[in-house]
Amino acid sequence: MFVRAKKVAQRVYLQIVENRWEKGKVRQRVLASLGRLDRLQQSGRLDSLVESAARFSQSLLVISAHRGGKLAALVNRRIGPPLVFERLWKETGCRQVIESVVKGRRFQFSVERAVFLTVLHRLFDPGSDRAAEKWKKAYRMEGTEHLQLHHLYRTMAWLGEELLACEQVAATPFAPRCTKDVIEEHLFGRRRHLFSTLDLVFFDTTSIYFEGQGGESIGQRGKSKDHRPDLPQMIIGVVLDSEGMPICCEMWPGNTTDVKTLIPVVDRLRKRFSIEGICIVADRGMISREVLAELESEERRWEFILGARMRSVKEVNREVLSRAGRYHEVRSPRSKSKDLAPLKVKEVVVEDRRYIVCLNPEQARTDAATREAILESLTKKLKQGDKSLVGNKGYRKYLKSGGGFEIDEQKIAEDARYDGKWVLRTSTELEAAEVALKYKQLWMVEEMMRFIKSILETRPIYHQCDETIRGHVFCSFLALILRKELQDRLEVAGRTLEWSDVVQDLDCLEEMEVEKHGKRFVLRSETQGVAGTVFQAVGVALPPDGATNRIGQ
């Protein structure tokens, strides 16, 4: 039965109609005519009729009273983030793996729930463990009601706890094997046969600084990528598979240099994940003569795609970039702003060493224009005297000194050789274009590093023990896994969403507990923005939007 608006001439009439099944067809029968719509609205009789009928529907009565401001909510809880990410937490295997690894330990509280709380907090309102313990009170998360601050501290310490001496076989020279390593290995084992191989992995590092001492040993001073050399720091390395899924994270003292990390990391990958063949993709910060010798040694003979230093390596500077040859177009110039950047490649072989010279014509024009702007400004500064040039690195690289400073045309010509170019060193037999495109995928790691440091606000770190520091950073790694899983599901659904929109719209979904006539009801707020799309992509059914009598009195 339903209300139908029927137009007759210039008038609209409301009718109560029912559907009936007659002789194999649906037929409608008018039960009553309520009158002209305009007159019903003007007289207020329509509102009275609806209100009168609502008295016989308990849920509609509660909803109407709440919307009219006659019922105040007893409890408000946010439900969007827990509903969506609880499903991803289970289906990525995080919940089962943590429960299996912690099995046998007597913590007297749910460690798995403590980890989930910390990870969810890191995704939606990143901050300290103290902040997470307060934050959870505004959300409905099953099993976290009795967690206290000291439970979160103990959980972080367990995640970063060193394993027994007999389990340190696959450790790097810079850090011991910990509980978090076992979790990573189990997580990879769950998805390996269905989704992932390690025939191609991407590796990059970054630094994160501390407020305080930085643990017993992990906080050290080194080259800071955060431009905070005054503070102790740690080095974080992240390894992704060819699909962009995080495999593992590495944590080392802050004075560990990039060139020392590549070989131990790849050795460790093979031992931890039982991988025979592997192709590592990394940037030029990982390269040294010794590293290349190790990679190409008889013992290893791993395949690699590595960025090469164009300016400081003589072979690259003098031979590779000087070789004549025709570039092959991989991607044509953009026709729209959203198109991928243009790309050309050229292969150069020096003895048995294979290089790929890559050129972005668009970037080459930008580099040339930037240099021209600097030279124009430099010419004006020279007329004002030499003292203003001493501390400016941008100016200094184009100057030569004699009796005074003057522009060096040879340096300008040398700098122009690098416009829009980068050089790769590879041991693979892939086509030059494919090598370049594989290397371009390294942006996935760089983007995740930015996500860890800025969106998840992993820095600065306030913990004072090495094990709790490692646990704190590992929760950011688990957050990366959930975010990547959500992105993949949205991509399958044909949607690309801004992370800030996902966070904001999911966080707006609430449930409200109200009381009427001695009974308690739970109401759900309406979905906003992209929240419905996210629920649909993850496969989670929204709770009913009506009043649900969960608690009777």
The string of pLDDT tens digits covering residues 439-476 is 998 888 888 888 887 766 676 777 788 999 999 999 99
Phi and psi of 73, rounded to 5°? -70, 130
Distance CA 151, CA 107 (A): 9
Phi and psi of 29, rounded to 5°? -130, 130
Distance CA 105, CA 117 (A): 20
Q: pLDDT, tens digit, for every residue of 209-260?
A: 887 777 888 888 888 888 888 888 988 989 888 888 899 999 999 999 888 8
Distance CA 49, CA 47 (A): 5
* Beta pairing partners, 519: 516
Please provide the average confidence, as pLDDT, over all residues in the chain: 85
The whole-number pLDDT of residue 278 equals 79
Q: Are 15 and 4 in contact (CB under 8 A)?
A: yes
The whole-number pLDDT of residue 249 equals 92
Q: Is residue 288 part of a domain?
A: no
Phi and psi of 117, rounded to 5°? -60, -45
Q: Is residue 483 part of a domain?
A: no
Q: Is residue 389 part of a domain?
A: yes
Question: Per mean pLDDT, which of 18-27, 174-183, 239-248 is the most reliable?
Answer: 174-183
Q: What is the mean pLDDT of residues 344-370?
A: 94
Phi and psi of 142, rounded to 5°? -60, 130
Indicate whether 44 pLDDT > 90. Answer: no
Distance CA 153, CA 472 (A): 9
This prediction's pTM: 0.80
Indicate whether 551 pLDDT > 70. Answer: no
Phi and psi of 180, rounded to 5°? -60, -30
Q: pLDDT, tens digit, for every residue of 259-284?
A: 888 888 888 888 888 776 778 899 98
Give the C-alpha distances (Å, rounded to integers) separating 293 from 263, 359, 388: 10, 27, 45
Q: Which two tokens stand for residue 493?
A: 């659904």
Q: Which two tokens stand for residue 490?
A: 């949205």
Give the C-alpha distances (Å, rounded to integers) separating 469 from 113, 180, 212, 252, 398: 19, 12, 12, 11, 45
Q: Are strands 201-209 and 279-282 parallel, antiparallel or unpaired?
A: parallel
Q: Which two tokens stand for residue 19?
A: 């559907």
Share of the chain above pLDDT 70, in %: 89
Q: pLDDT, tens digit, for every residue of 77-131?
A: 899 999 999 999 999 999 999 999 999 898 999 999 999 999 999 999 988 888 9
Q: What is the mean pLDDT of residues 527-534?
A: 92
Q: Which two tokens stand for residue 376?
A: 């124009």
Indicate whether 204 pLDDT > 50. Answer: yes
**Side-chain-side CA neighbours of residue 327 (13 Å):** 16
Q: Which of 56, 77, 102 is the last residue of a domain?
A: 56
Q: Which two tokens stand for residue 12?
A: 């609209």
* Beta pairing partners, 249: 238
**Side-chain-side CA neighbours of residue 479 (13 Å):** 27
The whole-number pLDDT of residue 355 equals 95
Q: Is residue 17 part of a domain?
A: yes
Q: pLDDT, tens digit, for every residue of 483-524?
A: 999 999 999 999 999 999 999 999 999 887 766 666 777 777
Q: How big, in percent rounded to 5, are the helix, strand and coil portions of the chain?
A: 45, 25, 35
Q: Is residue 454 part of a domain?
A: no
In terms of C-beta distances under 8 Å and separation of at least 24 residues, what long-range contacts does 369-377 make, across chains too? Answer: 371/412, 371/415, 371/416, 371/419, 374/398, 375/407, 375/412
Helix, coil or strand: residue 154: helix
Q: Is residue 470 part of a domain?
A: no
Which domain, by its residues, includes 373? 363-416
Distance CA 498, CA 288 (A): 38
Q: pLDDT, tens digit, for every residue of 126-165?
A: 888 889 999 999 999 999 999 999 999 999 999 999 999 9
The whole-number pLDDT of residue 15 equals 86
Q: Which of 39, 56, 73 is the last residue of a domain?
A: 56
Concatenating the DSSP letter of every residue in 74-123 gives SEEEE-HHHHHHHHHHHHTTHHHHHHHHHTT---SS-HHHHHHHHHHHHH
The model's confidence at residue 537, banded by pLDDT at 50, 70 and 90, is very high
Indicate whether 384 pLDDT > 90. Answer: no
Q: What is the mean pLDDT of residues 374-398?
A: 76
The whole-number pLDDT of residue 553 equals 41
The whole-number pLDDT of residue 276 equals 66
The whole-number pLDDT of residue 80 equals 93
Quote the Cα angle for 225-229-235, to 5°. 50
The whole-number pLDDT of residue 500 equals 92
Q: Which two tokens stand for residue 372?
A: 């021209």
Q: Are 255 and 217 in contact (CB under 8 A)?
A: no
Give the C-alpha distances (Å, rounded to integers) separating 515 from 56, 75, 155, 543, 553: 17, 10, 38, 19, 10
Number of domains in the chain: 2
Q: Is residue 503 part of a domain?
A: no
Q: pLDDT, tens digit, for every residue of 54-89?
A: 555 555 555 555 555 555 556 788 999 999 999 999
Q: Is residue 120 part of a domain?
A: no
Concatenating the DSSP letter of every residue in 322-383 gives T-----EEEEPPPSSTTSPPPEEEEEEEETTEEEEEEE-HHHHHHHHHHHHHHHHHHHHHHH
Helix, coil or strand: residue 45: helix
Of all helices (H) and strands (E), which one includes residue 22? strand 11-22
Quick one: which of 54, 98, 177, 160 has its CA closest to 461? 160
Distance CA 473, CA 466 (A): 11
DSSP single-letter state for residue 48: H
